[in-house]
Structure 1
Amino acid sequence: MKLQTHRTYNFNAGPSALPISVLEKAQAELIDFRGTGMSVMELSHRSSAYETVHNQAINSLKELLSIPDNYEVLFLQGGASLQFSMIPMNFLRSGKKAGYVMTGSWSEKAFSEAKLFGDIYHAASTKESSYRSIPKVDEIEFNPDHAYLHLTSNNTIYGTQWNDFPDTGDVPLIADMSSDILSKPIDVSKFALIYAGAQKNLGPSGVTVVIIRKDLLEQANTNIPTMLKYSTHAKNNSLYNTPPTFGIYMLGEVLNWVREIGGLTAIAEQNEKKAKLIYDVIDTSNGFYIGHAKPDSRSLMNITFNLNSKELEKNFLEQTKQEGFVGVNGHRSIGGCRVSAYNAIPFDACKAFSEFMIHFQKDNGYN
């Protein structure tokens, strides 16, 4: 039995759409996973059948992201939000400072949590301009003796994304890549730690991926609870306690799908084409649609915009629902409109939405 071929145009910011082929495979294996007579959700996390799933997912991620050998890949729980606390608990020692680059709500939340554990500061910020851009690399302030520098690579709420990352030398660079990991090739070696909730591009909610350099692990604070130590999970291959086994299985299948369609280069090309469809409509609308992000900081994952009147915006959002487009409302904190075009969103979904935008503009008397 296959899933229905008709699928909603799902532009939710997260949890996001998953590839249809992955869902179909999970459906086929749900009751009897590869001859075990059990669902993958029922397997012991100590069994050889699950161990294969677990290790294949780790190896696939290493392969796709070209992760060097001096890094550990961890599967944790608690989302990126728990990482906001774990990072300073492990790496912000007394007498040290850590810098946070402020580019949106998620960097604000990370900063707020880190304040509980030590001395932190704004290394750069675009808040005064309503987070419409990413700071220039030469605007970021940090010193060689700082504990780390933290940034958020893509900002789901404001629709901005980093194109170039700072070279921090001996200062560990830490990035929350929850909403754009696996969307394009990156140089992992620039970072001491990368973390990402799975529910955008990696799989279903419930799994958090952490990619951490081994020498940073060795510097971590040991006087913290066992489950909050990265070393606990590294020493036990993320199997110290029961991991989110179904989520990791799904993550592994999403990674297989990425490989099958051509890897990160192919994914990046597709994402650029999808986003361009919608940005082109915004840019040629003569002010009918107003993009939030400055062009050089635009996100390929989250396209944020307003219409030129509140009434039109309300009507626009009502019609998106009638046309079967789900999740177009902007984040509750800022309103407006947002199209989240993560990896599994088909090109045709973005094409259909761009055509709807054009028709809506014409129907309302704007050429």
Structure 2
Amino acid sequence: MSKKKYNFGAGPCILPDSVLNSASDAVKDYNRTGLSILEISHRSSEFEKIINECEDLVRELLKVPADYSILFLQGGASTQFSMVPMCLMQPHKGAVYLDTGYFSLKAIKEARMFGPVQVVASSKDRDYDYIPVGYHIPRGSAYFHCTSNNSIEGTEIFDFPETDVPIVCDMSSDIFSREINVADFGLIYAGAQKNMGPAGLTLVIVKKALLKGIQNLIPSMSDYRIYNDHNSMFNTPPLFSIYVAMLNLRRLKEMGGIKQAEETNIAKAKLLYDAIDSSECFYGLADKADRSRMNITFKMYNREREPEFLNFAESRGVVGIGGFGSVGGFRASLYNAMDMLGVEFLVQCMSDFIHKDLFKNFKLKQI
């Protein structure tokens, strides 16, 4: 029997055992149809029920207003970096972007291929360890783009700007982890592989008025209107990813919905941040006011011992905590499916490493 693993990887996300078990059964025989979920037609009544339930769950859990469309697309959030400006930018209306790290920079780069882009604020001056505030969003802009949670840098936006300009938000790594007011946004997009389901599915929630305002000549596969008109089935959608997302959202509803998930996520993050802040060995990277609840980034005062801690943690069954290449250090991702026991285990692992005999007489704060 394999040793239990605590997976703190940034993505693809961990999934609850009940979801994995149901998905496993469906791969062999979906709902006693004699067919695998991997084989059923996207035009079948069976899949129509799946995609409709998935949409209903998204709408219910996020309290999506009736004047918004819910689309299930492919290509990951990275495809949205070009799809958003392709659809929403206009020759006489440039777009406004907030630069908070790696993924916002990728979005900015893509958007500049389709029209003028103004970066209204950036936290690059401090290696993206905070969220800028006090910036001005020019009226008449096509849209304002931001990334709600920066999974590499470990920061998260908790207060979105008030503006008449449509807000477009990449919520890939914190959607379904906290309550939001969808009506504050013109368009929300999210890769599913953090809190929703397996990789291969991208969720888009878009105000119908924005769709009506699209004037550009766009290839069909990049046109939100096409997917809206075809119930996300203009071509073959990622059936299995949608099915697993449906199972996961069904479980989220059963567990008390997003309000309960947010309370748990706050408690998990506090437990780990408290352990980091009280430690003479580890320190956090992000400003306290902007610390992500989903992706906790930290390093050791003695950077030379970081590989040793990674090996120590892995020997205990803690995996996926290595920091992103350009940042280094550690990153523990506390997505919805990571329970409190897992976080407690990581904290205990950190404590055990600090207090083991080899470490007792070592100078901790060596910078």
User: Where on the TM-score scale, by shorter chain, does this alignment land: which range?
Assistant: over 0.9
Q: Structure 2 CA distance, aligned partners of 1:152 and 1:80?
A: 11
Say if 2:9 is the partner of 1:15: no
Out of 237, 240, 250, which is 1:243 matched to?
Answer: 237
Q: What do the CA deviations read for 1:330-366 (whole angstroms, capped 9, x no partner)?
A: 0012111000010111211110001111222223226
Out of 87, 92, 103, which is 1:90 matched to?
Answer: 87
* Contact kept? 1:89, 1:221, Cα under 8 Å: no
Amino acid in the other structure paired with 1:266: Q
Shift of 1:5: 9.0
Alignment of 1:313-332 (within 5 A): 313-332=306-325
**Most deviating of 106-115 and 35-44:** 35-44
Alignment of 1:241-280 (within 5 A): 241-280=235-274
- State the TM-score, normalized to the length of structure 1: 0.96
* Contact kept? 2:71, 2:227, Cα under 8 Å: yes
* Contact kept? 2:4, 2:317, Cα under 8 Å: no
Amino acid in the other structure paired with 1:111: I
Out of 137, 142, 149, which is 1:142 matched to?
Answer: 137
Shift of 1:222: 3.8
Out of 165, 168, 171, which is 2:160 matched to?
Answer: 165
Q: Structure 2 CA distance, aligned partners of 1:291 and 1:165?
A: 24
Q: Structure 2 CA distance, aligned partners of 1:236 and 1:6?
A: 46
Shift of 1:29: 2.4
Task: Name the residue aligned to 1:335.
Answer: 328
Out of 31, 35, 41, which is 1:34 matched to?
Answer: 31
Q: Structure 2 CA distance, aligned partners of 1:274 and 1:235?
A: 41
* Contact kept? 1:183, 1:342, Cα under 8 Å: yes
Q: What do the CA deviations read for 1:203-226 (whole angstroms, capped 9, x no partner)?
A: 000000000000001111340111
Q: What do the CA deviations read for 1:93-147 (whole angstroms, capped 9, x no partner)?
A: 10212111011100000001111111001111111011111112xx222111101
Task: Name the residue aligned to 1:207.
Answer: 201
Q: Structure 2 CA distance, aligned partners of 1:351 and 1:98?
A: 43
* Contact kept? 2:86, 2:216, Cα under 8 Å: no
Q: What is the aligned length? A: 360
Q: Structure 1 CA distance, aligned partners of 2:139 and 2:2?
A: 55
Q: Structure 1 CA distance, aligned partners of 2:316 and 2:28?
A: 35
Q: Structure 2 CA distance, aligned partners of 1:346 and 1:268?
A: 12
* Contact kept? 2:93, 2:141, Cα under 8 Å: yes
Q: What do the CA deviations read for 1:295-331 (whole angstroms, capped 9, x no partner)?
A: 0000000000000012221211121111111111000
Q: What do the CA deviations read for 1:44-74 (whole angstroms, capped 9, x no partner)?
A: 1011011000100000000000000000000
- State the TM-score, normalized to the length of structure 2: 0.96
Q: Structure 1 CA distance, aligned partners of 2:107 and 2:142?
A: 15
**Most deviating of 227-236 and 215-224:** 215-224
Give the secondary-structure state (helix, strand or coil) at the position aligned to 1:343: coil
* Contact kept? 1:101, 1:140, Cα under 8 Å: no
Out of 344, 348, 359, which is 2:341 matched to?
Answer: 348
Say if 2:179 is the partner of 1:185: yes
Task: Name the residue aligned to 1:290.
Answer: 283
* Contact kept? 1:232, 1:240, Cα under 8 Å: yes
Q: What do the CA deviations read for 1:240-269 (whole angstroms, capped 9, x no partner)?
A: 110000000000000001001100011011
Q: Structure 1 CA distance, aligned partners of 2:265 and 2:37?
A: 31
Q: Structure 1 CA distance, aligned partners of 2:47 and 2:231?
A: 13
Say if 2:106 is the partner of 1:104: no
Q: Structure 2 CA distance, aligned partners of 1:222 and 1:91?
A: 8
Q: Structure 1 CA distance, aligned partners of 2:240 and 2:166?
A: 32
Q: Structure 1 CA distance, aligned partners of 2:163 and 2:35?
A: 48
Instruction: Report the RMSD for the aligned CA atoms in angstroms.
Output: 1.3
**Most deviating of 322-331 and 206-215:** 322-331
Give the gaps of 5 or more residues in structure 1. none
Q: Structure 2 CA distance, aligned partners of 1:295 and 1:142?
A: 25
Alignment of 1:58-97 (within 5 A): 58-97=55-94
Q: Percent identity?
A: 44
Alignment of 1:105-144 (within 5 A): 105-136=102-133, 139-144=134-139
Q: Structure 1 CA distance, aligned partners of 2:142 and 2:82?
A: 15
Amino acid in the other structure paired with 1:308: Y
Amino acid in the other structure paired with 2:114: F
Task: Name the residue aligned to 1:156.
Answer: 151
Out of 306, 312, 315, which is 2:305 matched to?
Answer: 312
Amino acid in the other structure paired with 2:309: F
Say if 2:226 is the partner of 1:229: no
Give the secondary-structure state (helix, strand or coil) at the position aligned to 1:30: helix
* Contact kept? 1:65, 1:188, Cα under 8 Å: yes
